[in-house]
Structure 1
Amino acid sequence: MAGAAVGGYLAGRSDPVEAAESCAEIRKTVFDMGAEVQAAESSETANLIRTQMTMVLQNPDCFPARVRADAQTAMGSADQQAAAKALCDASDHRWWEC
């Protein structure tokens, strides 16, 4: 059963393999946005980071609780460093590679 985007969430994930593939796509999109953040004008950076954090928060099946908590903190404080840490924690990278 294919998932449908509903309010930022993927609905209809009945197949664990399909859900894992969907999460892989979501995670890749979030992490690929990191390059956009690095290249963005400072006025665009906050919006891009908010978009990344929103994607983390709206897809709880794809990210561990610690990452979602860091994302929520970053959203509340508009702290770019906290957002970067949350994305690093969610990635497969070691902390020194982020």
Structure 2
Amino acid sequence: MGLVLVGETFRDALEAGLTDYDFLRGTETYKSDWTTKQRRTVSLRVLSPGGDGEWFVRREQGMRQVREVAKRLLPQDAVERVRRLRRRLSAVRG
């Protein structure tokens, strides 16, 4: 069903005269069924020296490193299950 819905959104975009379709962030496998191109997302943060923002960024970087190690160590199907769970929890909190 999801495949059909994505195809329909492509059709709507083409009919509207759009030339780009952005899947947004993430590496979900269904995205590679539709394209071979990838764009990188770049973000910039400006923090005041010594503020709470520095602590937050360090914590976030540490969590990102933990996730990357877990992705390398866990089987791919386990990684996909965790992603689905995180999306469900995010939608509930949303």
Report the TM-score when normalising by structure 1. 0.30
- If you compute each CA radius of gyration, which structure gives the higher value, 1 or 2? 2
Q: Identify, as 1 or 2, the structure richer in strand.
A: 1
Report the TM-score when normalising by structure 2. 0.31
Highest RCO, 1 vs 2 (Cα 8 Å, sep ≥ 6): 1
